[in-house]
Amino acid sequence: MEDTVILYPSPGMGHLVPMVELGKLILTHNPSFSIIILITTAPFDTGSTSSYIKRIATATPSVHFPHLPTGNISPPFTTSSDNFIELAFELPRLYNSNLHHALQTMISQKSRPKASIIDMFCNSSFEVFTSLDIPTYYFFTSNACILSAILSLPKTHQILSEKNKDPNTSIEFPGVPPIPTPDLPMPFFDTEGLAYKSFFGTAINMAKSAGILTNTCHAFEPRAVKAISDGLCTPNLLTPSVYCIGPIVANSGEAHEHECLRWLDSQPSRSVVFLCFGSMGLFKAEQLTEMAIGLEKSGHRFLWVVRNPPADGETKSILAEPDLDVLLPNGFVDRTRGRGLVVKKWAPQVAVLSHDSVGGFVTHCGWNSILEAVSAEVPMVAWPLYSEQRFNRVLLVEEVKVALALEELESGFVSADELEKRVRELMDSVSGEGVRERVREMRDCAKAARGDGGSSRVALAELVESWNS
């Protein structure tokens, strides 16, 4: 009977793609394995996952993508940016019965899987896998610093409850620079909320798991990795084994003939600032106007991905093609033609960052975007928008030092003058050159970690080998 490893990702592209790439990496260490990646259907936009899955299944026959049946699954609440995390945790729970049945069928038809690896948001499935005696690991698709914070929740719960409403204090997690309370992940502000309780429960189960894989490398975050491994995050719990196996970066089937790549071909080396804010990064019309003014005043070349502003929660308006004549200042596109290009809705981010003409990246601080930038040796301006991105900004600016921080108003608004200032600083100044040099060092660390004898490659090899014993 073939040896099987089961991977269970959260359905969003930012979680599915790293999990699939992990499956492919496992095969490089043991090609005889069969990788089964369980797919769930989400009641929210997950990006073009179907075409991506089809492409991977065709190219890598040892990776299989069975879809768990939906049956009568219906989330008890609607999707919005306010409850997205709750829904991400809730969806796998609704699938648990179908998951249990599918696993029992696999075991009866083949043999017991060597291991299962679940996404953090699939925490509710932990007991399903372990009840069938399947060794279960977590794949944490973000960084070790935020992993330290989550694992520390049972330890820091009382402190969070007392201090998270005080904007003038900071919270300390093991191996992590002090996090100002306004920069905590949003669920940490409501310790009675469903999202926080879901993270708390995940911390408990992670400590009981067979181990945690995380999409980082030791050289990026040595203090946080050591703190986790030394048990400082889980003093009253088991200390989980931590496998730093990143950075894992994939292009997810991007279109390399996109118009923006042809435009970049005509630009000088390292001269273009790229502005892109993830699949969920949206700005109000007033902010888009301010961004345009700042970019024009900066005098620098730019490639800017623009999406429609949110309009009373209407998804259709967000997904529609933006009207640049309405959204941007009168004459902006014409005045900046040649040195600037505005792309509607989407650009092939990995291909753009890897292009020789790109010399800076204004980013929302999503972890996948950060890894893509570091791997391409592109320094950043950090403009976090949601989720754990403000936390990530602290890591980028204070710990790893590969980004400059934008200063926001209390409302989160960023002025044209501030954007102009940071773009100029990144591209022209001594401090910008320091960030550029640092990101070059981190790129070399990432390359070394993934190479022969590198720490990430060795960690994954040791894990795969343990499944053969």
What CATH architecture is 2-250+449-466? 3-Layer(aba) Sandwich (3.40)
Q: Write down the pTM of the prediction.
A: 0.94
Distance, CA of 384 to CA of 387 (rounded, Å):
9
Q: Which of 34, 120, 89 is CA-nearest to residue 367?
A: 120
Asked if 100 contacts 66 with a C-beta cutoff of 8 angstroms, the reply is no
From residue 435, how far is each of 31, 123, 179, 182, 442 by CA, in Å?
40, 37, 21, 25, 10
CATH C-level class of 259-446: alpha beta
Longest alpha-carbon distance in the chain: 67
What number of H helices and E strands is found in the chain? 19, 15
Domain boundaries of the chain, sorted by first residue: 2-250+449-466, 259-446
Decide the pairing of beta strands 242-244 and 340-344. Answer: unpaired
Closest by CA to 8, choosing from 109, 103, 105, is: 103
CATH topology agreement for domains 2-250+449-466 and 259-446: yes
DSSP code for 202:
H
pLDDT string in tens for the chain (469-residue length): 579 999 999 998 889 999 999 999 999 999 999 999 999 988 766 666 888 899 999 999 999 999 999 866 665 555 555 578 898 999 999 999 999 999 999 998 878 899 999 999 999 999 999 999 999 999 999 999 999 999 999 999 999 999 988 889 999 999 999 999 999 999 999 999 999 999 999 999 999 999 999 999 999 999 999 999 999 999 999 999 999 999 999 875 555 679 999 999 999 999 999 999 987 889 999 999 999 999 999 999 999 999 999 876 444 456 688 999 999 999 999 999 999 999 999 999 999 999 999 999 999 999 999 999 999 999 999 999 988 999 999 999 999 999 999 999 989 999 999 999 999 999 999 999 999 999 999 999 999 999 999 999 999 999 999 998 6
Q: Which amino acid is at 316?
A: K
